[in-house]
Amino acid sequence: MPPTQNSSARSHGRPAQDSTGTARTRPVLDATDISRALTRIAHEILERNKGPQDVVLLGIPSRGVPLARRLAAAIAAVEGSEVPVGALDVTMYRDDLRLRPARALEHTDLPAGGIDGRTVVLVDDVLFSGRTIRAALDALTEHGRPRQVQLAVLVDRGHRELPIRPDFVGKNLPTSMSERVSVLLTEHDDLDAVTIGGSDASEVPA
């Protein structure tokens, strides 16, 4: 049962022939920028929800999960209290399963308190077509009934294909469809960075 494609799409761009990254990539955010953006989003989440009560952060694998953990740490640093963090795999709910080889699943891990009646903040690295978030909303309804769902993303690169809008954005990044946005996080990669590259994308939109 060979190549199962992992859904940990690190790059967010349209498919093309070359995936070796021969085209030029340039940095958009460095580690300090990412850290500042997350700290600001943490404050915005607290401000919007009038504190950390009932807030649950759910990261979308793979890179949404460490981002959710970092946001939780930032909230804890401000408020001195922990908010529950979890992971929500949306693979089984995607609308493009039939267009690609079967994918391995990522881990879903909901906080012990569940999500019923809570304010769930979905956390992802890049918002592009909005289809991942559509799948996440479907997945969420099968785990419970949150009072409210909000969306935090590190990068919004535009080109939405569905009526979905983020509540908290680290960086609005105007891109062309063929460009590739990569989010690198030390939990998965060697460094913290967001880069944008030419039309050498190897992944479909997330």
Partner 1 sequence: MMRHLLSAGDLTRDDALVILDTAEELAAVADRPIKKLPTLRGRTVVNLFYEDSTRTRISFEAAAKRLSADVINFSAKGSSVSKGESLKDTALTLEAMGADAVVVRHGSSGAPHRLAHSGWIRGSVVNAGDGTHEHPTQALLDAFTMRRRLNAGPHGEGAVGTDLAGRRVTIVGDVLHSRVARSNVLLLRTLGAEVTLVAPPTLLPVGVEGWPCSTSYDLDGELDKSDVVMMLRVQQERMGAAFFPSAREYSRRYGLDTRRVAQLPDHAIVMHPGPMNRGMEIAAEVADSARSTIVEQVTNGVSVRMAVLYLLLSGSSDPEVAQ
The residue from 14, 43, 103, 188 that contacts partner 1 (CB under 8 A) is 103
Per-residue x/- marks for partner 1, 19-58, CB under 8 A?
A: ----------------------------------------
17 binds partner 1 (CB under 8 A): no
- Within 132-191, the residues that bind partner 1 by CB under 8 A are 138, 142-144
- Rounded to 5°, angle at Cα 62 from 94 and 76: 120
Contact between 184 and 10 (Cβ < 8 Å):
yes
* Euclidean distance between CA atoms 146 and 98, whole angstroms: 29
Tokens of 55: 């807030």
Scanning 80-128, the segments in alpha helix (DSSP H) are none
Which two structure tokens, joined as six digits, stand for 62?
Answer: 């793979």
Instruction: Supply 115's token pair.
Output: 């999500």
Shortest separation between residue 104's beta carbon and partner 1, angstroms: 6
Measured from the CB atom, the residue of 80 and 101 that comes closer to partner 1 is: 101
Residue with tokens 């799948």: 135
Q: Does 90 bind partner 1 (CB under 8 A)?
A: no
Residue 4 or 19 having the CB closest to partner 1: 4
Decide: is 117 part of the binding site for partner 1 (CB under 8 A). Answer: no
Q: How far apart are CB 69 and partner 1 at their closest, in Å?
A: 17
- Applying CB under 8 A, among 17, 98, 190, 191 the residue interacting with partner 1 is 98
Taking the least distance from each CB to partner 1, the nearer of 31 and 92 is 92
Shortest reach from residue 206's CB to partner 1, in Å = 17
Could you tell me whether strands 103-104 and 5-6 are parallel, antiparallel, or unpaired per DSSP bridges? parallel
- In the three-class reduction of DSSP (H, G, I as helix; E, B as strand; rest coil), residue 6 is classed as strand
In terms of CB distance, is 142 or 190 closer to partner 1?
142
- What residues contact 143, with CB distance under 8 A and at least 6 apart? 88, 110, 114, 115
> Distance between alpha carbon 123 and the CA centroid of its chain, in Å?
5
Cis peptide before 199 (omega within 30 of 0): no
| Interaction between residue 112 and partner 1 (CB under 8 A) | no
From the list 101-109, 124-132, 167-175, 176-184, the region that binds partner 1 by CB under 8 A is 101-109
Residue ranges in contact with partner 1 by CB under 8 A: 1-4, 89, 92-93, 97-108, 138, 142-144
